[in-house]
Amino acid sequence: MPFDQVEFITLLTDYYEFCNRVFWDDSIIAQAPKHGWPSITQFTMANLNKTDAVIDLLRHMPFIDFLEPEKAYGKHVIMKNTRIQDYRSDAMQKRIRDGDLEYYVEPIGDPLPPSCISFGNSNGRNGYNLVINTADGYVYWGEPCGLPDEPAPELNAVVQERYAGDENERWRGGFNVYRPCEFFALCKQRFRELRWIGLQTDIIEAVPMYWELDDADDEFKALVRKMKRAGWPGDGQGRDWDREAFQAALAVNSNSDEEDEDAVQAATEALDDTHVH
């Protein structure tokens, strides 16, 4: 399918706004200037060897800033142990200038095709790698150690057939493949059904798809109870639930629904008192 840059940026921005409502702290989605980020050009990105379409995408993508940079901590994640790739940042641009790309910028070790760029990168070996391909318009979702724990979507077979026998395209076999709208909808769904729970800007806890939720450990089950007691999933888009009460309840160790309810109630009352004063 042809790549639609406007659609991808709209979907990415919407997902960032969802994450900001649900678990990021003191953050703002920074929209690109009309003519794109001035620090992202074919010259500054030269060592990536990317197409004009990729560079133009990067120039117009949203990125995330802390409202108060001096109080910044950690890096924004969009799924478990998966950091946003900020191509504006001094650290990223230095890596690109120095050619220090393996695993930091190019998630599979070998360079991705010129039409592909990473927009989410695994922090170590226990996260995910996210790639957008401007040639076919698909999102590629993989793990450093193989396919993600998600069921294989129907596009996997389509892509494998298309590139069968092409050694340069073997990397695609380690990724699930999605249309952008389906990918971002799936990510939101994992939060709604409490398989993914965001605790703070740089931490998401998750239960893999090959587990039943009942098989999660007690600590994760306690998080699920606290989220539900705080009104999750609200409207399904990260609104209409009590995030402050959930965050306050995280400080309370509890082993039962009743204790969770008491913890959330106490946290809510404390917040109400703070607002009054």
Tens digits of per-residue pLDDT, 196-217?
Answer: 999 999 999 999 998 999 999 9
Written as six digits, the tokens of 185 are 């909808």
Helix (H, G, I), strand (E, B) or coil at 114: coil
Q: Which helix (H) or strand (E) holds 8?
A: helix 5-22
Q: Which residue has the tokens 């009309």?
A: 34
pLDDT at residue 14 greater than cutoff 70: yes
CA distance 232 to 219: 18
C-alpha distances out from residue 156 to 160, 164, 165, 172, 205, Å = 6, 12, 15, 9, 27
pLDDT at residue 257 greater than cutoff 70: no
Instruction: Please give the residue that has the higher pLDDT: either 271 or 26.
Output: 26
Rg (CA), the chain: 20
Among 58-62, 120-124, 265-269, where is mean pLDDT lowest?
A: 265-269
What type of residue is 79?
M
pLDDT at residue 271 greater than cutoff 90: no
Among 32-36, 132-136, 156-160, 261-265, where is mean pLDDT lowest?
A: 261-265
pLDDT score, position 151? 92
With the CA atoms of 108, 170, 138 and 20 taken in that order, what torsion angle do they form, in degrees rounded to the nearest 10?
A: -20
CA distance 230 to 261: 9
What type of residue is 172?
R
> Taking the model in full, what pTM does it have?
0.91
* 182 in Cβ contact with 153 (< 8 Å): yes
* 57 in Cβ contact with 119 (< 8 Å): no
Question: Taking residues 132-160, what's their average pLDDT?
Answer: 92
pLDDT score, position 277? 42
Question: Taking residues 175-194, what's their average pLDDT?
Answer: 98
Q: Which of 108-117, 190-199, 250-259 has the highest mean pLDDT?
A: 190-199
Percentage of the chain lying above the pLDDT 70 cut: 91
Q: Which segments of the chain are extended strands (E)?
A: 27-30, 63-66, 77-79, 82-84, 116-122, 129-133, 139-142, 175-178, 196-200, 203-206
Which of 22, 14, 15 is closest to 240 using CA atoms?
Answer: 22
